[in-house]
């Protein structure tokens, strides 16, 4: 019987969490330059990863948030 979570899945989830968190930090940093900068990179990151790799990686988005 194959395990539900493979090592690859766990590494992808942890990697996604780190990239999501880094994108959030970048978005918060850019918001200090003016009120007109409306950029939230984690949204694009999470949409891209969930479309490309599937819904199995949603815990990475949750951990990153």
pLDDT by residue, tens only, the chain of 65 residues: 777 888 988 999 999 999 999 999 988 888 877 776 677 888 889 999 989 988 888 999 999 98
Q: How far are the Cα atoms of 29, 34, 40, 65 from residue 20, in angstroms, in the given order?
A: 14, 22, 10, 7
Which pLDDT score, from 0 to 100, does residue 54 have? Answer: 86
Which pLDDT score, from 0 to 100, does residue 37 have? Answer: 64
- For the entire predicted model, the pTM comes to 0.81
- The answer to whether the beta carbons of residues 35 and 57 sit under 8 Å apart is no
Which pLDDT score, from 0 to 100, does residue 6 have? Answer: 87
Locate the domains of the chain by residue range. Answer: 7-64
Which pLDDT score, from 0 to 100, does residue 20 have? Answer: 93
């Amino acid at each position: 019987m194959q395990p539900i979570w493979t090592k690859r899945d766990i590494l992808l989830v942890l990697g996604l969490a780190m990239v999501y968190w880094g994108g959030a930090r970048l978005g918060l940093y850019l918001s200090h330059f003016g009120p007109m900068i409306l950029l939230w990179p984690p949204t694009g990151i999470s949409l891209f990863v969930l479309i490309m790799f599937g819904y199995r990686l949603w815990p990475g988005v949750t951990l990153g948030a």
